[in-house]
């Protein structure tokens, strides 16, 4: 019998968020779900969700409702951005008190053990139907949300590509479909982290798009399984970035890395895989309650 899930998610930018995220992106075996978009502070009644026939609630990150009702329907809270800062992690530890099970994307699991809740690693999932290879007619893509640190890289990267006759696409303000086409068209996707203690979803999206990801050193999630030099490449300094860009493009080395990264993501990190993991987790929890 399929598991029936109530997905409580963010109402703001709902359509773009659903297009962007791999979670819940296409039908899979053993799971049915209904989205319940909410505004921050909105009250969600658990009794109503249970009465609607849901077996559990998955509480997505980036939305902050309050909870009401006496139903025992379990709340599975997804934790994505808890390691952005100590203040942020404290906020997520408070959030965990309203949940029954914690699904942690990229943070360490140990800080959440103080909550007494069951904790599972449940990483991001890519929607490979959105993030997919296109004809490779762009040498370098650099599409990141603006920060001062990221902006300092933009000018030198533009100059480097212009001097060597490389095609470059940059900038923000794109729809998810436009962004996916830019990644899919690029031979190399350059990444600079907002916070070095965070692993970006760009790792999954760029690799699924058949691009060679060239990232500064960021937080490593052991369960991700990404291997530098095999599935993607690191850079240390801007000078090192430019040397690696030139080497990867002139030798053609970008292509085997891109192909290996894409194969790895499609095997390990699609929504189909992550959904199967959630089915296993819920089965384990039900077994413990029996």
Q: What is the pLDDT of residues 163-214, one digit of tens each?
A: 999 999 998 889 999 999 999 999 999 999 887 778 989 999 999 999 999 9
Residue 160 resides in a domain:
yes
Residue 132 resides in a domain:
no
The per-residue pLDDT for range 11-52, each reduced to its tens digit, is 999 999 999 999 999 999 999 999 999 999 999 999 999 999
Residue 133 resides in a domain:
no
The per-residue pLDDT for range 139-157, each reduced to its tens digit, is 999 999 888 888 899 999 9
The per-residue pLDDT for range 74-110, each reduced to its tens digit, is 999 999 999 999 999 999 999 999 999 999 999 999 9
Do 152 and 263 belong to one domain?
A: yes
**Which domain range does residue 77 map to?**
3-125+270-289
Residue 119 resides in a domain:
yes
Q: Give CA–CA dist 271/268, Å, rounded.
A: 9
Other CB atoms within 10 Å distance of the CB of residue 193:
19
Count up the domains in the chain and report the number: 2
Do 259 and 277 belong to one domain?
A: no
Give 223 or 149, the one with higher predicted confidence.
Answer: 223
Q: Give CA–CA dist 236/252, Å, rounded.
A: 21
Do 146 and 238 belong to one domain?
A: yes
The per-residue pLDDT for range 73-83, each reduced to its tens digit, is 999 999 999 99
- pLDDT at position 287 is 74
Residue 101 resides in a domain:
yes
Residue 17 resides in a domain:
yes
Q: Give CA–CA dist 27/135, Å, rounded.
A: 27
- pLDDT at position 289 is 63
Do 225 and 274 belong to one domain?
A: no
pTM of the complete model? 0.95
- pLDDT at position 271 is 98
Domain holding 232: CATH number?
Answer: 3.40.50.2000
- Residues 254 and 232: beta-carbon distance below 8 Å: no
- Residues 141 and 184: beta-carbon distance below 8 Å: no
- Residues 131 and 209: beta-carbon distance below 8 Å: yes
Do 7 and 117 belong to one domain?
A: yes
- pLDDT at position 67 is 98
Q: Is the pLDDT of residue 288 over 70?
A: no
Average pLDDT, the chain: 95
Do 107 and 46 belong to one domain?
A: yes
Do 32 and 117 belong to one domain?
A: yes
Do 194 and 277 belong to one domain?
A: no
What is the dihedral angle through the alpha carbons of 177, 183, 186, 190, rounded to the nearest 10 degrees?
A: 150
Q: Is the pLDDT of residue 290 over 60?
A: no
Do 167 and 119 belong to one domain?
A: no
Do 281 and 264 belong to one domain?
A: no
Do 147 and 264 belong to one domain?
A: yes
Do 183 and 254 belong to one domain?
A: yes
The per-residue pLDDT for range 229-283, each reduced to its tens digit, is 999 999 999 999 999 999 999 999 999 999 999 999 999 999 999 999 999 999 9
58, with CB counted inside 10 A (0-12, 13-18, 19+), is buried
């Amino acid at each position: 019998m399929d598991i029936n899930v109530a997905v409580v998610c963010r109402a703001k930018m709902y359509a773009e968020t659903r297009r962007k995220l791999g979670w819940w992106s296409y039908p899979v075996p053993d799971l049915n779900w209904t989205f319940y978009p909410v505004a921050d502070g909105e009250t969600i009644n658990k009794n109503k969700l249970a009465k609607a026939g849901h077996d559990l609630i998955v509480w997505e990150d980036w939305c902050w409702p309050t909870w009401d009702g006496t139903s025992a329907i379990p709340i599975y809270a997804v934790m994505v951005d808890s390691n952005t800062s100590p203040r942020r992690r404290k906020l997520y530890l408070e959030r965990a008190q309203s949940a029954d099970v914690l699904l942690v994307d990229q943070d360490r699991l140990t800080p959440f053990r103080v909550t007494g809740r069951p904790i599972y690693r449940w990483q991001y999932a890519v929607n490979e139907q959105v993030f997919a290879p296109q004809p490779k007619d762009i040498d370098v893509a650099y599409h990141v949300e603006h920060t001062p640190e990221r902006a300092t890289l933009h000018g030198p990267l533009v100059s480097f590509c212009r001097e060597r006759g490389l095609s470059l696409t940059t900038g923000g303000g794109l729809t998810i479909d436009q962004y996916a086409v830019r990644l899919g068209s690029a031979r190399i996707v350059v990444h600079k982290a907002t916070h070095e203690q965070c692993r970006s979803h760009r790792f999954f999206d760029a690799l699924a798009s058949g691009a060679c990801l060239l990232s500064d050193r960021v937080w490593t999630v052991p369960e991700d399984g990404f291997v530098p030099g095999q599935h993607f490449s690191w850079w240390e300094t801007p000078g090192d970035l430019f040397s690696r860009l030139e080497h990867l493009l002139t030798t053609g080395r970008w292509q085997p890395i891109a192909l290996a990264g894409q194969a790895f993501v499609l095997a390990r990190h699609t929504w189909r895989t992550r959904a199967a993991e959630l089915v296993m987790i819920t089965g384990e929890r039900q077994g413990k309650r029996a």
